[in-house]
Amino acid sequence: MNYILANGIQKLDGGSYSIDSIIKAIQTFSNWALRIGIALAGVSLIIGFIMYAVADVDKKQQVKQRIIQTMFGIVGIILAISIVNLIIDLF
């Protein structure tokens, strides 16, 4: 049988995608997204500290709130991707 590799999913010639190949592709994508997300979280944390350091005294509280909201957003995205990864690992 001939296999065609398309975006990490194996497909039989004239056949359909198998569940295992779809789960593997989703898991590969979620691992990649998790690595990128953690790296972006570190970069945004550094940028946040720089923004806080150069902000005016009057605006420090607003900048601090924005930094905290951004961090919670990034943590939420990383957590969601991690949960998807864990669920896929159960199969």
Q: Could you tell me if residue 12 is inside a domain?
A: no
- Band of pLDDT at residue 3, cut at 50, 70 and 90: very low
In the 3-class helix/strand/coil scheme, how is 7-76 assigned residue by residue?
CCEEEECCCCECHHHHHHHHHHHHHHHHHHHHHHHHHHHHHHHHHHHHCCCCCHHHHHHHHHHHHHHHHH
Tell me which residue range forms the domain holding 32. Answer: 19-90
Q: Could you tell me if residue 66 is inside a domain?
A: yes
Q: Could you tell me if residue 52 is inside a domain?
A: yes
Q: Could you tell me if residue 58 is inside a domain?
A: yes
Q: Could you tell me if residue 48 is inside a domain?
A: yes
Give the chain's domain count: 1
Q: Could you tell me if residue 10 is inside a domain?
A: no
How far is it, in rounded angstroms, from Cα 53 to Cα 65?
Answer: 14
How does pLDDT run across 48-57, given as a tens digit for each residue? Answer: 888 778 877 7
pTM (whole model) above 0.75: no
How does pLDDT run across 55-91, given as a tens digit for each residue? Answer: 777 888 888 888 888 888 888 888 888 887 777 777 6
